[in-house]
Amino acid sequence: MTAAPLSTAVLTTPPRKADAMTTPTRAELKSKPLVEVMAIDKSFGPSRVLKQCSLDVRTGETVVMIGPSGSGKSTFLRCLNLLEPVDGGNIFFEGRDITRERDKAHLVRREIGMVFQSFELFSHLSAAENIMLAPMNVLGLSRLDAHDLATELLGKVRIPDKADAFPDELSGGQQQRVAIARALAMKPKMMLYDEPTSALDPEMIREVLDVMADLSAEGMTSIVVTHEMGFARRAADRIVFMESGEIIEAATSEAFFGGSVGERARRFLDQILH
């Protein structure tokens, strides 16, 4: 990767894991991108939050997005699942242009799970009910099937004994893992994580990252906005660096951690790594 801004380039370099340089990763096996973001623009009033941002994400790939706060990472994620309408550009999901699907946006969102910094578990429902709500009301699962699904997913996120606990009775790390399980219950084709560990106490960050890393290893396509470089090193196929609304770099994990990063990304890394 060069230091030149790649904001308009559609990146097609096959991603590779740092620890699997010789064998092709699962992402390389599938050639078609799951998501293609083409030069999207987004403004809030006079401030341009996204400028001509482009990114391809292949099935099974895990992309970590880093960058200073206010650089547009969260907005990028929110545009991807149509929580924010874009001003220009196109977003393709499974080859279909979803950019302007206002009325059918909820159909797109069913296939894309999202996890928030502040968890946003529904406070009037128990952990299991939080997970069951969407499958029952959106997918039409029976209560029994939804409950089985919730039990299975709570086991997957390693808190099988917290099914009946309410959000305010769970630690931050547990709440975030329930939130991940809730998103997984819709059987999404892709997961978006918006700073999932930023609101957590340090001792709880690990348990959440472990769950996310497991999911990535199982082949869940993921975009993760985070400052956890340890996670990026462990689970990312590619690292995207954003600054002032532009995608400055999108490098394979090994290139990035191998040191071939541009000046601005290096400066940012120096700052967050102290």
Partner 1 sequence: MSLDLVFDYLVSPVFLRGALMTLLITVCSLFFGVLTGLVIALVQETRSKAGNMVVLVYLWLFRGTPVLFQIIFIYNVLPSFGIRFTAFTSAVLALSLNEGAYMAEILRSGLQAVKKGQRTAGLALGMTGAQVMRLVVLPQAARIVLPPIGNQMIGMLKLSALVSVVAVEELLLVANQVASANFRYFEALTAAGLYYLALTTVFMVLQGMMERSLDPKRRRVGSRTPTLMERLTGSMVRASVR
**Which spans of this chain sit near partner 1 (rule: CB under 8 A)?**
81, 83, 106-107, 109-114, 116, 118, 120-126, 133-134, 137-138, 166, 179, 182-183, 186
d(CA 225, CA 65) in angstroms, rounded, equals 5
CB of 1 to partner 1, least distance (A): 32
The set of residues, in sequence order, having a beta carbon less than 8 Å from that of 190 and lying 6+ positions away, is: 34, 35, 57, 111, 112, 113, 220, 221, 222, 223
**Coil, helix or strand for 61?**
coil
Phi, psi (degrees; rounded to nearest 5) at 184: -65, -25
Between 12 and 123, CB nearer to partner 1:
123
Between 3 and 133, CB nearer to partner 1:
133
Between 179 and 215, CB nearer to partner 1:
179
CB of 199 to partner 1, least distance (A): 11
Between 110 and 206, CB nearer to partner 1:
110
8 Å CB contact between 263 and 3? yes
Between 119 and 268, CB nearer to partner 1:
119
Between 80 and 239, CB nearer to partner 1:
80
Between 71 and 130, CB nearer to partner 1:
130
Retrieve residue 96's tokens.
Answer: 């279909």
8 Å CB contact between 227 and 273? no
CB of 106 to partner 1, least distance (A): 5
CB of 66 to partner 1, least distance (A): 22
CB of 114 to partner 1, least distance (A): 4
CB of 124 to partner 1, least distance (A): 5
**Strand ranges inside 45-201, DSSP E:** 47-58, 62-66, 88-93, 96-97, 112-115, 190-194
8 Å CB contact between 224 and 149? no
Between 115 and 213, CB nearer to partner 1:
115
CB of 59 to partner 1, least distance (A): 20
d(CA 224, CA 256) in angstroms, rounded, equals 16
8 Å CB contact between 37 and 89? yes
d(CA 91, CA 108) in angstroms, rounded, equals 12
Task: Say how many C-beta atoms besides its own lie within 10 A of residue 171's C-beta.
Answer: 15
Give Cα 238 distance to the centre of its chain.
Answer: 12
CB of 129 to partner 1, least distance (A): 8
